[in-house]
Amino acid sequence: MNSIWWVLLITVCVLGIIVLGTIWACTQVAKKVLHPISKRKPLYAWPDQFNLPYENVVFKTEDKVQLRGWFINAAEESDKTIILMHGWGMNRSDILKNTCFLRDLGFNLFYFDFRALGESGGKTSSIGYLELKDIAAAIAFLRETRPQFCAKIGLYGLSMGGMVAICEAARNPEIACVVAEASYYSFRRVVSRWAWVHRRVPYFPLMPLVLHYIRKQLGVNPERYSPKYNIPKISPRPVFLIHGRYDNLVPAAQAKLLYKSAGEPKEIWLVPGAKHNKCAEVGGYEYKQRLADFYRKYLK
């Protein structure tokens, strides 16, 4: 009888250790998402390397996070500005090379680092929800300091930046058009996919715990801000979705779902052979030409 009790006690202890270990592992995954310290990398490119005059800018969000960026005037005086936003784990230098050509087409360019990334302040990233405060602050700063450049504002966003572009356009009728590249469809899906690709964390039974921890830390359910709920609200303003056909983090099927949900006018380009965040690299000249055609058509 004593041996049976010992077996039961050991079993309970082992199960307890497994449960506690599982909870700890889930919180670590959530912390990697919300506090990407290892993802804050220094800038490696600046506009003057592309012979572009620029101004360093600093502004604050409504929750007092200091953001840093660049403002680049168009080659000729223009009242149209494109705000360009990078992805999670990136910074503004990552998107400069493939988009700065838009300046010569008659557009002012405004780049900034999201909170907790690049040169901006803050320690918490949320893959979209908190970053909506960042784009709101960027637009407010632009209108307060450079109202002459704000007759029309277009957005460009890569990955997380694409999500922010979609959601900001949905709530802000002043946004004239949107380019969203490699944007995710659902917060729940992208976090689950990231956890599997980078940590081999299966959805069941672990991801519900990870998502619960994220909701608890943010004080809100970020799933409600997913592009799938917001992209239908952009119409009748145009949206252009760019996505790698072989995206390993956000499958191209999600871009098709977003396109189906969007109202007219809308465009989609699935770049053959491109993985996540590699559309510009793979698309080459055609990538730039498609961006140029879209902004020329809808921002002018």
Residue 18 confidence (pLDDT): 43
User: Which one-letter amino acid corresponds to residue 182?
Assistant: A
Q: How many angstroms separate the CA atoms of 101 and 84, rounded? A: 13
Encoded tokens for 180: 């969203």
126, 53 in Cβ contact below 8 A? no
- Region 3-28: what's the mean pLDDT? 52
Q: Does domain 39-186+226-298 have CATH number 3.40.50.150?
A: no
Of 33-37, 99-103, 127-131, least confident by mean pLDDT is 33-37
pLDDT category at 187 given cuts 50, 70, 90 is: confident
Which of 30-44, 73-87, 130-144 has the least mean pLDDT? 30-44
Query: Distance between CA atoms of 132 and 92, rounded to whole angstroms?
Result: 16
Which residues fall within 8 angstroms of residue 168, CB to CB, at 6 or more apart?
132, 135, 136, 139, 155, 175
Mutual angle of helices 131-145 and 160-171, in 10-degree steps: 60
Say what the alpha-carbon torsion angle 226, 258, 83, 194 is, to the nearest 10 degrees.
Answer: 60
How many residues would you count in the chain? Answer: 300
pLDDT for res 249: 87
Poorest-pLDDT segment among 24-38, 123-137, 179-193, 244-258: 24-38
Pairwise CA distance, residues 57 & 288, whole Å: 26
C-alpha closest to that of 142 among 183, 86, 84, 90 = 84
User: Cβ distance 252 to 246 under 8 Å?
Assistant: yes
Q: How far is CA 70 from the centre of its chain?
A: 18
Mean pLDDT (the chain) is: 87
Tens digits of residue pLDDT in 218-272: 788 888 889 999 999 999 999 999 999 999 889 999 999 999 999 999 999 999 9
Query: Which pLDDT belongs to residue 35?
Result: 66
Q: Taking each helix axis from N to C terminus, what angle separates 2-34 and 187-199, rounded to the nearest 10 degrees?
A: 110
The pLDDT value recorded for residue 219 is 80
pLDDT band at 25 (very low <50, low <70, confident <90, very high): low
Mean pLDDT of 169-198: 85
Cβ density class 137-165: b for 16+ within 10 Å, e for less: bbbebbeeebeebbebbbbbbbbbbbbbb
Instruction: Tell me the pTM.
Output: 0.87
Q: Say what the pLDDT of residue 36 is.
A: 60
Q: Which amino acid is at 41?
A: K
* List of residues 6+ apart from 244 with CB closer than 8 A: 182, 252, 270, 271, 273, 274, 275, 276, 277, 278, 279, 282
pLDDT at 14 over 60: no
- What is the structure's pLDDT at 19? 42
List, in order, residues 6 or more apart from 122 with CB less than 8 Å away.
65, 66, 115, 116
Report domain extents, the chain. 1-34+188-223, 39-186+226-298
Read off the pLDDT band of 5 (50, 70, 90).
low
Helix (H, G, I), strand (E, B) or coil at 56: strand
Band (90; pLDDT cuts 50, 70, 90): very high
